[in-house]
Structure 1
Amino acid sequence: MATYFSSNALKFLKGLKRNNDREWFQARKDIYERGLKTPMLALVNEINEAMLRFAPENVQPPQKAMMRIYRDIRFSKDKRPYKTNVAAWWARAGLEKTSGGGFYFHFSPDEVVIAAGVYMPEREQLLAIRRYLVDHHTEMRRLLAGKKLRSLMQEFDGRRLTRPPKGFAADDPALDLLMCQQWGITAHLPPETALQPTLLKDIIERFKVAAPVVALLNAPLAPKPKRPLF
């Protein structure tokens, strides 16, 4: 049976949003472990099984795909110790330590987010994607305009620049895509979506339709296969 979350999981996240401190969390850590972490790992495993059919390069072990609930507050003025969502990120194999194209899911007190794309590319990756889009912008536009994709997800704004990036012409046919600093699609659903038996189906349906976009964005970034020495 497909995994989904309980109403107590949503109640916990709402409580954590109001009481984001260690004393509150530690007193309820068992609720987090049983009601959120355990089903999240099971859900990731089920998503992995489905992704083998349409995005095998992005399958990740559940413990690696699931993000920690603990915030890194070392360099932040915001000292709240916990994230108020449970989330997972499916990086492409070989790009786990960088910011290649991948798939994302999170469940928070406010919403369920299902997304895919390249979010924080490194400088060299940003340049590589832009150069690739110069020659493949027509294909990218075709994918983003797909009827099924548009019925399930929306393109996000991409943190667009106000002027053409250095090294690219102002009259380039791909300029609107080149002005982006990130590329992808997302769906924002009510938090109660995570409490329904259809959660796995909702995620897979969107990941599958987004997979060609992720593959295109990863094309200039993916590690090249090693050539045999002999």
Structure 2
Amino acid sequence: MEGSDNKGSAQVGPHFSEQAFDFLEELEHRNNRAWFDENKPTYETELKARMLEVIEAVNSRLGAFAADYLRPPPKAMLRIYRDVRFSNDKTPYKTHLAASWPRQGLEKAGGAGFFLQVGVHGVMVAGGAYSPGSPQLRAIREYLLEHHEQMRAVLANADLLRVAEPFDGRPLLRAPRGFPAEHPAEDLLRVRSWAQFALLPGDAALREDFVDVVVDRFRALAAFVDLLNVPLATATPLAVDAASGRRRAAGSRP
């Protein structure tokens, strides 16, 4: 997959430095707090600051086709510190940078969104809902019973096929319980992971057209992300709990 698409002259925009990648490479071998603290000034200037600039530049372009996904850069950027509480790997730091742009209002409710990961070994630009919870997955499946043709049209879009890896979805072997096995959407009903990925070499992040490349892929993913959020907007934990009577109005007594 090409790192750029040669659609007119690329804009010069924020990107990463060789020094940033040197830091990440060294972090793979010296993933400990002492080394990180000693080299934190490099992290702050060459990684964190540059990532925030990339996010800001992406935001300036999202308004044209995904205004509901704008997010302040400090909130969009994910922490480099790993959550090691439930992991056998106790290394304290991730060896890549990442940012996410969920749909506004669905940030904590399992909505679909856009995602960017930058590392020495590759850049991943993604969109969708990678691991939806049970209420979210059920909402998608129920929606597809009537709208599977619309989803197929989105998945077959030429712009999406141009940039994305073949869609996998980690499907079940058979139709999920409670859904018909003999249905035109049967193959879509078996999908468990509704995410699409565009993969690029790591050095794509070093190029002056890096933001162009990211935004081009976000644009191609936008219809897919928007369609998923139609059912996901109705399946937030709050809505599910309220519908089942498990959540009382704020301030009400048991």
Please give the TM-score of this superposition, normalised by the length of structure 2: 0.85
Aligned partner of 1:87 in structure 2 is 98
CA deviations over 1:40-64 (Å, ceiling 9, x no partner):
1111111111111111111111111
Counterparts of residues 67-86 of structure 1 (less than 5 Å): 67-86=78-97
Q: What is the rounded CA distance, in whole Å, between the counterparts of 2:159 and 2:108 in structure 1?
A: 32
User: Counterparts in 2 of 1:122-201, with a 5 A limit?
Assistant: 122-201=133-212
The residue number in structure 2 matching 1:6 is 17
Q: Which runs of 4+ in 1 moved over 6 A?
A: none
Gapped regions of structure 2 (runs ≥ 5): 1-11, 236-254
- The alignment status of 1:102 with 2:118, answered yes or no, reads no
Identity of aligned residues (%): 45
Structure 1 residues not aligned, in runs of 5+: 225-230
The letter of the residue matching 1:120 is: S
1:118 corresponds to: 129
Partner of 2:6: none
2:75 aligned with 1:64, yes or no? Answer: yes
In the alignment, what sits opposite 1:206? 217
Q: Give the total of aligned pairs.
A: 224
Q: Identify the residue that residue 216 of structure 1 maps to in structure 2.
A: 227
Q: Which amino acid is the alignment partner of residue 122 of structure 1?
A: G
Describe the superposition over 1:147-183 as per-residue Cα deviations: whole angstroms up to 9, x where unpaired.
1211111244212111211111111111111111111
What amino acid maps onto 2:95 in structure 1? T
Indicate the residue corresponding to 1:50 in structure 2: 61
Amino acid at match of 2:20: A
C-alpha distance in structure 2 between counterparts of 1:223 and 1:7, whole Å: 44
One-letter amino acid matched to 1:188: L
Q: Distance in 2 between matches of 1:223 and 1:56?
A: 20
State the secondary structure of the residue aligned to 2:124. Answer: strand
Report the equivalent of 2:247. none
Q: Is the contact between residue 98 and residue 121 of structure 1 (CA under 8 Å) also seen in structure 2?
A: no
**2:102 and 2:111 in contact (8 A); partners too:** yes
Equivalent-residue separation in structure 2 for 1:182 and 1:100 (angstroms): 13
How many angstroms does 1:188 deviate by? 1.1
| Inter-partner Cα distance in structure 1 for 2:49 and 2:161 | 32
Report deviation, 1:223.
6.0
Q: Which has the larger radius of gyration?
A: 2
Distance 2:65 2:39 in 1: 38
Structure 1 length-normalised TM? 0.94
1:184 corresponds to which letter in structure 2? A
Q: Which letter does structure 2 place at the counterpart of 1:57?
A: D
